Chain A
Amino acid sequence: MLELMTQVTLVILALALVLAFARLVLGPTLPDRIVAMDLIGVLTAGLIVVSAAATAERAFLDAAMVIALLAFVGTVAYARFVERGYGA
C-alpha cells in the first residue's frame, strides 16, 4: 500500500515537473519563466523528500534543504535582474 502510494506520488511529481518545464519553455515573458524555475526548484525539493521517505535515507533531507535554499536565492536574483529592466 505505502510502496504503491510512494511510486504514484513520484510519478505525479514527475508529471508536475514536466508541466512546469513546459511553462519554462513556452514563456512568453521572463517573469513567467522565473515563476516556472521557482516551481521546478520547489518540486525537486519535494521529490527528494519523498525519495528520503521511500529509501529511509536521512541524508536526502539535507539535499532537499539545500535545493530549497538555492531555489529561493536564484529566484530573488533573477527577479532583481528583471526589475532593473535588463530582461524585458
Chain B
Amino acid sequence: MIDAMTSALLLVGALFALLAAIGLLRMPDAFTRMQASTKASTLGVGCLLAATALQLGDVASITRAVAIGAFLMLTLPVASHVIARAAYLSDAPLWEGTVVDQWREDAERPGSGHESTEHSRSAPRRPEAHGG
C-alpha cells in the first residue's frame, strides 16, 4: 500500500518537474518562463518530498522532508518575485502577445507620482541610473 502511494507520488512529482523544464524551454519570454518553472517545480519537488517521507517513514526523515518542503514553499515565490522584478527593471523583452503591463501604465499615468521614480522601466537605456 505504502509502496503504491510512494510510486504514484514519485511519478507525479517527476512529471511535474519535467513539465517545469519543458515550460522553461518552450515559453516565449523570461516572465512566462519564470512562472512556469516556479509553479510546476514547487508542486513537483513537494510530491517527491512527500514520497520520500512516506517511504522512509521515521521521525527524523519526515521532519527533514517537511522542513525542506516548507523552506521551498517559502523561498520559491520570493525568488521568482525577485527575478521578475530584476528582469523587468533590466529591460528584458516582453513577449509580443503581452496584453497587460500595469507597471508601465502606472508610471505613465500623470499625477500618479511614479513618473520619474528610480523604479521604472526605461524606454531608452539609462546608464546613468545604474549607480549604487
Contact = CB atoms under 8 A, between A and B. Distances in A.
Interface of A: 1-2, 5-6, 8-9, 12-13, 15-20, 22-23, 29-32, 34-36, 38-39, 42-43, 45-46, 49-50, 52-53, 56, 58, 61-62, 64-65, 68-69, 72, 75-76, 79-80, 82-88
Contact of B90 (A17, A35, A88): A88
Interface string B21-63: 1101100001001100110010011001101100110101100
B92 A29 contact: yes
Given A35-B83, A75-B82, 15 more contacts: A2-B55, A12-B17, A15-B21, A16-B14, A20-B21, A31-B30, A38-B38, A45-B68, A61-B61, A65-B64, A68-B68, A79-B82, A79-B83, A82-B86, A82-B87
Interface in B60-117: 60-61, 64-65, 67-68, 71-72, 75-76, 78-80, 82-83, 85-87, 89-93
Given A8-B11, A38-B83, A58-B56, A32 B130 contact: no
B6 A2 contact: yes
Given A13-B14, A56-B56, A58-B56, A85 B129 contact: yes
A46 B37 CA distance: 14
B24 A43 contact: no
Main SS of chain B's interface residues? helix
Contacts of A80: 82, 86
B44 to A, nearest CB: 7
24 contacts: A12-B14, A16-B14, A16-B17, A29-B87, A34-B83, A35-B37, A38-B37, A38-B83, A39-B24, A43-B41, A46-B17, A49-B49, A49-B52, A52-B56, A53-B10, A53-B56, A58-B61, A61-B65, A64-B68, A79-B86, A80-B82, A82-B86, A83-B86, A85-B89
